[in-house]
Every structure is written in C-alpha cells, then in structure tokens.
C-alpha cells in the first residue's frame, strides 16, 4: 500500500510538472533559481559535452559556496545518464503556505519556496528523460530528480548517483564518519578543513555535514523524505569536494543501490543555509520537504518524559533489596519514580520477552530464532505492570529487537494495544539500505494502526519522516549518554557540538539526566560496562539538555535512587515540556557553547550548554512580549568546578528589556524558566 501511495504521488507530481512547462530558447546554456528573499541563488549549466554534462553552483548573498558541481546517474543495466543532454522543457513555480506540527521545535511552520523543474532528455538513444527539481527557500536549497513514465525506464536498477558538492574554498567542516553503510551511526563530529578530511577503506562520511562557508554564512548537507530508496552518505571526491554515495541494496547485487520503476521521485538532497550557526538550529527546512501527516487522527500522541531501567540493570539499588533487571519489582521501582516526577512513561527494556540473542559459531551474537514478542519472561508480568502504572498515570513502552519486530509486528502490535501499551522501542537496525528504509515506514504505519508510539535505536539519521508519521517520537543515531558506560567520549565539547550537527535533523534520543556529575579529572568508566554512574560536566548541564536537545520523548537515564538521593534540580524535571511552540537561538558557537530559548504556551525555557572553558554569556530577553515576568533560574553552584553536582537556584523579575548573565562553570549549564505569576 505504501509503495502504491508513493507511486500515485509521483505520477501526480510529475504530471503537474509536465503540464506547466516552457520551451527553452535554442541556445539555452544556463538557468537560475533564487530564493523568495533573493539571497540564495542556484545556477545550472547544461552542456552536451560528456565532460561538462549537467552542473550547478550555489551562492548566498553573491558569495559562492558550491561551484561547478556535477549531477549524473549510473544504471546497472544501461548506459550512464550524464552526457549529450538537451533541456526539453523547464517550469517555474512559487508556493507560500503554512502548516502545524503535532510536536517539535515550533508549532506553526511557514513553507515558502521557489521551484525550478528542468526536463533533461538525451540527444541520442535511448533518449531517456529525467526531471531535475530544485527548490530555493530562504533557509536553504533542495535538489531531487524524477523518472517520468517511459519504456526505457520501466525498471530502474540504480547503480550510482553522483551529486557533487565542490566547495568554493577550503571551508572548515564538521563531519562524522561511519564504519560502513551498516553502522549504528553513533560517532563524534570532527572539525577539519575540507581538504584534510580523510576517508579510510570502507568508511563513509555521514550526514549532516556542517560547513563554515565564511562570508556566505553556515551550511549543512543532508537528505530529506527518504522513502523506498537507499540512504545517502558522502564520499570524498575532490580536494575540496564530496559527492553523494548510496548504500548497497542488501538483497541484490552489490553494485545495485536502488530497485524501482518509473514514475519515481528521489529523496531530496538538501543544503541548509543560515547567516550563523544558530540559524541552522531554528530552520524548519527538513520537515518542509516531507509529506504531511499520513496517519490521520493524532490526538492519542502524547509527548513526554520516560523513566528507563537499562542504565542501571544488573546492579542492586541501595534503597531496594532486589537486583535491578527485567523483573516486575524493578519495573515497579521505576514506575514509582515516573509517578513521583509526573513523567508520562516507563520504558521496559530488553529481556522482558527473554534473551533476544543467542551465541553461535565463533562467539557471534545473533537474534534468537525462538523469541516471541507476545510472550514475557517468567520474572515479569506485563499486564500487572500496565495496571500498576495506569493507577499512577504512567504508561509503558516495550523494547523489541528489529528482527523480531519485522517477523511479528503485524500480530504483536494489536496485542500491545489490547494490553494497554503506549509504544515500542525498536533496536539494532544498523543499516540504511532500501530494505531497511522500507522497514521503518512499515513500522510507523503498523504502529499507528494500534495507536503505538515509536522510538528507534541503532538507527539511521532522521530525514524528516516524523512529519508524515508523527507517532515516530524519537530515535537514536547519536553518540549519547549510553556511551559513558564504556568510553570517555561524551565530553562537553561533544555535547556542545551536537546541537549544530546531529540535532539539525530533529528528534534525538540522547538519554540525558545523568545525576552523578564528574569533573574532567574525576570521571571514570565503569568496570565491565557496569552501571553508568558518571557523566561529564555539571548538574546544570544535564538539566539544560532537556531544553537544548530536541526530542518529543525524553528518556531519562539515571536510577530512582540517584534522583532521590541527589534531588537538586528535580523540581525542573517535573515541569519541563518536550514539545515547543517556538524556538530561538540566543548565543551559539559550535563546540563551545549554545543557548536556546523555547516557548511552550506562554512560558519560555532557556537552556545553555558550555564546553570546558569557564565563560559568561549575556542572554537578552528582547523576544518576550510587554509586561513583567518571573524568571526561575537553575545554574552552576559557586563551587561547581570542584563539585559539578553543585546547583544553585534563583528567582528574578524580568521584562523584555532585561539581560540575564549566565556564569558557566567548566562543562557547565544554565536554565531559565520565564512565566507570568
């Protein structure tokens, strides 16, 4: 059904494009497209030469960002599409509408762009036609291609897609690298000149790639509306350039990336643009490039916060006489925490339906073929827990291995609805090939039929389909707090880089809320990946993450014992929203600091994260309406550099003429709630 809907959509779009066309002049060599504000401009050059082919350049405020970059396609069973091209037709279109999010960084979203569609046709046999579609927004540009229905492309076996990003200068970039196409995409973002960006054998460069384009501002490259297609990564192709590289199709020849048939539209290849790095965070470009809500009624979708048992699994709770694990006692222990805090959910993690994995061969872990995700292990009673949670106004979410979900979700999800389960967390996908992309869409559709929320772990980067499936609440694809169990990589430099890199793509399940903060010197990795007791930075930093990091489902990582024993800041955790009506960035420098203001109803929350350097930031409140408001502040304590668990609180009266100074410790944080008394 999903493929049929998409094909119908492609036919409608491609037919509409063809119906609004202009015949080009005989000597046409260049076409241009500008954004509504005129600041972003695309130039397209079309040449019959096999060397030059079809190329584009991108400018912002007349400053070049990308120059003379090639577009071409290769097929497994046909000649490449890149030479001897004519412009058959071109058409222009402008759209200015708006829509509302179910949840996210802002409620009301403006969708305003200018579009150019170029129909390219080969001069010689097989005379294939391909439509190249460009959109220019005030906050970026987007490019995609389409295959109109034609005999020569009845079946599409796409071997390669080349869309180049050849930079005008040796710009500084922030890039992440994954081991292969089959990776959990949990890696740091490294700052480097594009010329120094290296790529080892088998590695792929992930998205988003963020660029300091100097006079042209900042840019980020990623993809949007990934549907029935292989995911996009990047490959170094030039000393100052990259090109797209698609994941191999897992069930076809290794040289095949996408299997499809005309009519089809590719995903969007996107370059987000902003005058500074903070403007990238505010952008709605990614979700504007995705299809509207496809699941109908969304009143049952409730953003919120979840307690989570796994970070401390296998240990004894000091305030309980049982071992934490997949058992009824542990889940009640965490449900009680969620109830105390006013949180909406408790996540029941793996082993609730028995061991999901077995070991075979040379100590290789594989999915347990005998697992049944409608049955529970003998130590846990899901129905009893649902009733216990409902009495306390808490709902349960259940962990599933992706292999087991793929086999049983059509049968299991209606069972979960009958049990009263709120949602599922699906784990260990670690792929972006076409089959896995289709699995994501199938999960969202199947879950929506049973009113189930979804959290994906071991997942690929967001591409904005949560607009289409708003039950898709959050996903991993981020090197988050979980990595404190085995590494020292979750540093303040990392956590202040994420808002400008991974978070540009939307919902991010970082699992914040570690309550045993440590200094740079005192941090220790637990032995044998035991309970993750330590996090870098201050208490205020961990609290501020819930404002800065975007996720409609925030999953809190620490234990009930730690929240109760060290309660400083828990009053904030009882009130902070997870979805917002408006977002503004007040202060920003990638990898150093970020201050984000978000509005929920009439209340504003400001979260600030800092790296290892102490600093002061001036936070102007000129975004407030007229009137006098109360500001409730949580900030680094006086001795937070030595005792990062130290947290101070303060209350002030403020107006839109006020400025609040955030004094930030090493790895520090700062939170403000502004409200009418």
Tens digit of each residue's pLDDT (9 = 90 or more) over 242-284: 999 999 987 777 789 999 999 999 999 999 999 999 999 999 9
In this structure, what token pair is assigned to residue 544? 């501020």
d(CA 405, CA 409): 5
Report d(CA 303, CA 339) in Å as an integer: 16
Burial class (CB in 10 A: 0-12, 13-18, 19+), 375: exposed
CA distance 501 to 481: 17
Q: What is the rounded distance in angstroms from the CA atom of residue 582 to the CA atom of residue 80? A: 46
Contact 281, 503 (CB under 8 A): yes
Main-chain phi, psi angles of 662, to 5 degrees: -95, 110
In 105-176, where does DSSP find H-type helix?
Answer: none
For residues 58 and 141, give the distance between their C-alpha atoms in angstroms, rounded to a whole number.
9
Residue ranges in the chain modelled with pLDDT below 70 = 1-29, 49-51, 529-530
Q: How far is 479 from 486, CA to CA, in rounded Å? A: 12
Partners of residue 652 on adjacent β-strands? 631
What is residue 299's DSSP assignment?
Answer: T
Backbone phi, psi, residue 401, to 5°: -75, 140
Rounded distance, CA 549 to CA 136, Å?
28
- Between CA 74 and CA 443 the distance in angstroms is 31
CB neighbours (10 Å) of residue 652? Answer: 13
CB of 471 closer than 8 Å to CB of 452: yes
Q: How far apart are CA 183 and CA 186, in angstroms?
A: 8
What would the two tokens of residue 446 be? Answer: 């199947």
CB 541 within 8 Å of CB 610? yes
352 and 399 in contact (C-beta within 8 Å)? yes
d(CA 368, CA 375): 14
Quick one: 367 exposed, middle or buried, by C-beta within 10 A (0-12, 13-18, 19+)? middle
The strands making up 304-308's β-sheet, listed across from edge to edge, are 472-475, 453-456, 423-427, 395-401, 345-348, 304-308, 553-555
Listed residue (52, 130, 116) closest to 84, CA to CA: 52
DSSP-H helix ranges across 478-559:
492-495, 539-548
CA 469 to chain centre: 14
Whole-angstrom distance, CA of residue 71 vs CA of residue 46 = 10
Cis bond upstream, residue 652 (ω within 30): no
**Alpha-carbon gap, residue 32 to 34, rounded angstroms:** 7
Cα distances (angstroms) measured from residue 572 to each of 149, 307, 568: 56, 15, 9
> Which 8-state DSSP code applies to residue 342?
T
Secondary structure class of 457 (helix, strand, coil): coil
Task: Specify burial of residue 33 (Cβ count, 10 A radius: 0-12, 13-18, 19+).
Answer: buried
What are the Cα distances from residue 278, in Å, to 126, 472, 635, 672?
A: 48, 26, 22, 19
Nearest C-alpha neighbor of 375 from the set 409, 349, 412: 412
List beta partners, residue 246.
232
The closest of 192, 91, 190, 45 to 494, measured between CA atoms, is: 190
Closest CA to 310 of 458, 553, 485, 456: 485
Predicted local distance difference test score (pLDDT) of residue 322 = 86
Closest by alpha carbon to 428, among 404, 396, 412? 404
Q: Are 490 and 469 in contact (CB under 8 A)?
A: no
Helix (H, G, I), strand (E, B) or coil at 417: helix
Q: Please give the CATH topology (third level) of the domain spanning 2-288.
A: Beta-galactosidase; Chain A, domain 5 (2.70.98)
Q: In the numeric block, which tokens belong to residue 227? A: 């549907």
pLDDT of residue 11: 42
What are the structure tokens assigned to 117, written together?
A: 């569609």
Same fold, 2-288 and 490-550+561-677: no
**Taking the model in full, what pTM does it have?**
0.94
User: Spelled out in words, what is the top-level CATH class assigned to the domain 490-550+561-677?
Assistant: alpha beta
Residues 33 and 271: their CA atoms lie apart, in Å, by 14
> In degrees, to the nearest 5, what angle opens at C-alpha 81 toward C-alphas 80 and 85?
140
Residues 6+ away with beta carbon under 8 Å from 486: 525, 529
d(CA 156, CA 147): 9
- Identify the residue whose tokens are 């995911």: 231
- Cβ count near 600 (within 10 Å): 18
d(CA 460, CA 208): 12
Which pair of structure tokens corresponds to residue 613? 């350097």
Domain ranges of the chain: 2-288, 490-550+561-677
Residues 538/542/544/547 CA torsion (nearest 10 deg): 170
Rounded Cα gap, residues 75 and 86, in angstroms: 20
**For 317-347, how does the pLDDT look when each residue is reduced to its tens digit (9 = 90+)?**
888 888 899 999 999 999 999 999 999 999 9
Q: Which H or E element spans position 143?
A: strand 140-147
């Amino acid at each position: 059904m999903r493929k049929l809907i998409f094909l119908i959509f492609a036919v409608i779009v491609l037919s509409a494009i063809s119906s609004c066309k202009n015949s080009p002049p005989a000597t046409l060599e260049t076409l241009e497209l500008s954004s509504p504000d005129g600041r972003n401009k695309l130039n397209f050059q079309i040449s019959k030469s096999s060397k030059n082919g079809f190329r584009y350049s991108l400018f912002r405020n007349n400053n070049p960002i990308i120059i003379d970059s090639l577009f071409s396609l290769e097929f497994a069973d046909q000649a490449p599409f890149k030479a001897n091209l004519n412009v058959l037709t071109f058409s222009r279109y402008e759209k200015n509408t708006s829509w509302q999010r179910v949840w996210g960084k802002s409620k009301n979203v403006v969708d305003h762009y200018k579009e150019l569609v170029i129909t390219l046709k080969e001069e010689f046999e097989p005379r294939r036609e391909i439509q190249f579609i460009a959109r220019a927004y005030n906050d970026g540009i987007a490019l995609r291609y389409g295959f109109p229905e034609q005999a020569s492309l009845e079946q599409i076996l796409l071997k390669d897609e080349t869309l180049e990003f050849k930079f005008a200068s040796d710009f500084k970039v922030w890039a992440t690298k994954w081991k292969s196409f089959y990776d959990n995409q949990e890696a740091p973002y490294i700052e480097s000149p594009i010329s120094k960006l290296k790529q080892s054998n088998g590695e792929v460069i992930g998205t988003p790639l963020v660029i300091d384009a100097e006079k042209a501002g900042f840019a980020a490259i990623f993809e949007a509306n990934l549907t029935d297609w292989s995911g996009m990564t990047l490959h170094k192709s030039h000393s100052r350039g990259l090109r797209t590289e698609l994941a191999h199709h897992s069930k076809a020849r290794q040289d095949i990336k996408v299997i499809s048939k005309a009519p089809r539209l590719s995903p969007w290849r996107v370059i987000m643009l902003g005058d500074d790095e903070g403007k990238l965070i505010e952008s709605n470009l990614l979700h504007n490039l995705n299809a509207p809500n496809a699941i109908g009624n969304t009143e049952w979708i409730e953003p919120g916060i979840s307690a989570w048992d796994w970070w401390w699994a296998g240990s004894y709770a000091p305030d309980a006489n049982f071992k934490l694990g997949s058992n009824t006692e542990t889940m009640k222990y965490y449900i009680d925490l969620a109830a105390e805090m006013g949180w909406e959910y408790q996540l029941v993690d793996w082993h609730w339906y028995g061991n999901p994995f077995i070991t075979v061969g040379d100590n290789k872990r594989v999915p347990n073929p005998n697992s049944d995700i409608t049955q529970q292990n003998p130590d846990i009673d899901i129905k009893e827990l649902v009733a216990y949670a409902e009495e306390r106004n808490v709902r349960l979410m259940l962990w599933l291995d992706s292999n087991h979900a793929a086999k049983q979700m059509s049968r299991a999800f209606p069972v979960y609805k009958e049990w009263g389960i709120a949602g599922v967390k699906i784990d260990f996908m670690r792929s972006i090939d076409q089959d896995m992309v289709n699995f994501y869409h199938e999960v969202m559709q199947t879950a929506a039929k049973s009113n189930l929320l979804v959290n994906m772990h071991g997942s690929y980067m967001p591409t904005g389909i949560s607009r289409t499936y708003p039950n898709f609440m959050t996903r991993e694809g981020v090197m988050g707090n979980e990595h404190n169990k085995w590494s020292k990589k979750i540093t303040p430099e990392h956590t202040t880089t994420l808002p400008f890199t991974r978070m540009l793509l939307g919902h991010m399940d970082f699992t914040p809320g570690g309550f045993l903060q440590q200094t740079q010197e005192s941090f220790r990795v637990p032995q044998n990946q035991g309970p993750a007791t330590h996090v870098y930075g201050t208490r205020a930093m961990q609290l501020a993450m819930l404002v800065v990091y975007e996720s409609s489902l925030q999953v809190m990582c620490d234990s009930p014992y730690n929240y109760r024993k060290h309660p400083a800041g828990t009053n904030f955790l009882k009130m902070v929203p997870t979805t917002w009506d408006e977002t503004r960035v007040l202060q920003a420098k990638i990898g150093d600091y970020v201050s984000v203001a978000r509005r929920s109803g009439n209340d504003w929350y400001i979260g600030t994260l800092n790296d290892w350097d102490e600093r002061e930031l001036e936070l102007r409140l000129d975004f407030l309406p007229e009137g006098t408001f109360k500001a409730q502040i949580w900030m680094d304590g006086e001795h937070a550099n030595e005792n990062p668990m130290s947290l101070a609180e303060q209350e002030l009266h403020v107006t839109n003429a006020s400025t609040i100074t955030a004094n930030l410790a090493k790895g520090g944080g700062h939170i403000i709630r502004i409200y009418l008394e």
